[in-house]
Amino acid sequence: MKIRSLSLSGFRNIKEAHLTFSPDVTFLLGDNAHGKTNVLEAIYLFARGKSFRGARDAEMTSFGQEGYSLTLSYEKEDRREELSLAVKGRSKTRKRNGVLLDRQSELVGSFRAVLFCPDHLQMVKGSPSERRRFMDIAIAQCYPVYISHYSRYAKNLEERNALLKAMQKGVFYGEDMLLVYSEALADAAAEIYLYRKKYIALLKEEAARVMWELSHGREELSLSYEGDFEGEEYEDKEALRAAYGKLFTKNTERERAAGMTLYGIHRDELKISLSGLSAKDYASQGQQRSIVLSLKMAEGMVCRALTGESPVYLFDDVLSELDEGRRRFLLSGMQGCQFIVTGCDEKVLSETPGKVKIIKVKEGTFTERENEE
């Protein structure tokens, strides 16, 4: 998958721009606060359906404007596709190849990208929710139906928690309703668990291989997805749904006392270990960087294995965080893939094989420059 162009209007500090990208490496070069990340945010909106910075439309709309519009044009399986998003006041339109889409989630799954930004370096040491988010975003791009299971789960969880809270306080007693939520939750949990389990089984292999190469055979990376059923294997959805059902109905006493749901996929963990030691507890700064880099590269490889095409890699300010060896490994190991990277020093790309397109970013405006190696 390769991006051809991106048009932006009224987005963040970008008044109007039409950018074209190299099929290999494009470097958005500029000082801080000039609009580099804004471009990646716009691109990634089409992959994830929402801002990776958690911004709402009003925040992404240029100050003083009524709305913004974005059009992304890319090649997919040798065909040209176009996605567009236009926000005006409270109304929003999304289109794929000119055809209106009803919901934002319908955007997800057409254009696919792997994003790596400095915040992701926290993934190893941060809370389990960060690792769950990583899995969820990656899975949703490969299996868009995952989003509907996930939304169903989130909605039921919220309602079930509100009910448990009311029961805890004694203001409401609703056993029947609790049962309805528990069954719906068990069904969605079983779907999500199986997707995550399957995804991690694929990711694990690729990530371990990347880490092995990156560390010249010194580090063994291992991933495991851990949920409520330690040691038990469920491959079949019905059996799993029954197991979740049991979990949600047999423990209501405790849950009512706690006023919340104590089991389920919202508490699961992606456990990462390096050469036998828990990465969360023991990985050094350098090891954390290598782990995250391995996970991101593996994310792209699994995406390619599942969809038949490499996603676009968006690297925000992270190249300068990686040492030369890791940088070279990354850019030479992924030849044939499209990279859009940002930074304030073009020296980070001195090792890149082939041609790099440099776009200079200044106060929301862009000047293109071809860089002959």
Contacting residues toward ligand ADP, per CB under 6 A: 12-13, 30, 32-38, 59, 61-63, 361
* CA angle, 289 then 12 then 321, to 5°: 15
Task: Show the tokens assigned to 18.
Answer: 């039409």
Q: What, of Mg ion, ligand ADP, none, does residue 323 touch, CB below 5 to 8 Å by kind?
A: none
Partner touching 280 among Mg ion, ligand ADP, none, CB below 5 to 8 Å by kind: none
Residues 173-232 that bind Mg ion (CB under 5 A): none
- Nearer Cβ to ligand ADP, position 70 or 361? 361
- Cα 107 to chain centroid distance, Å, stands at 14
Smallest gap from residue 342 Cβ to ligand ADP (A) = 6
Cβ proximity to ligand ADP, 87 vs 247, nearer residue: 87
Whether 227 contacts 186, CB under 8 Å: no
Is the CB of 35 or the CB of 109 nearer to Mg ion? 35
Q: In sequence order, what DSSP letters do the residues of 171-231 get, joined into one string?
A: S---HHHHHHHHHHHHHHHHHHHHHHHHHHHHHHHHHHHHHHHHTTT---EEEEEE-SSTT
Least distance in Å: CB of 343 to Mg ion? 9
33 binds, among Mg ion, ligand ADP, none (CB under 5 to 8 A by kind): ligand ADP
**Is residue 61 a contact point for Mg ion (CB under 5 A)?**
no
Q: Could you tell which of Mg ion, ligand ADP, none binds residue 34, using a CB distance below 5 to 8 A set by kind?
A: ligand ADP
The β-bridge partners of 48 are: none
Q: Which residues pair with 80 in a beta bridge?
A: 75
Token pair of 187 as six digits? 């069904």
CB of 36 to Mg ion, least distance (A): 5
Report the residue number, 38 or 261, with the smaller CB distance to Mg ion: 38
Collapsing DSSP states into helix, strand and coil, what is residue 285? helix
Judged by CB under 5 A, does residue 37 bind Mg ion? Answer: yes
Complex with ligand ADP: residue 87 or 185, whichever CB lies closer = 87
| β partners of residue 259 | none
Kindly state the tokens that stand for 111: 């254009």
CB of 26 or CB of 37, closer to Mg ion? 37
62 binds Mg ion (CB under 5 A): no
Say which amino acid occupies 216. H
Which of Mg ion, ligand ADP, none sits in contact with 357, Cβ below 5 to 8 A by type?
A: none
CA geometry: angle 132, 134, 140, nearest 5 deg = 95
Report, in Å, the least distance between residue 40 CB and ligand ADP: 8
Give me the phi and psi of 308, to 5 degrees please: 90, 0
Size of the site for Mg ion (CB under 5 A): 2
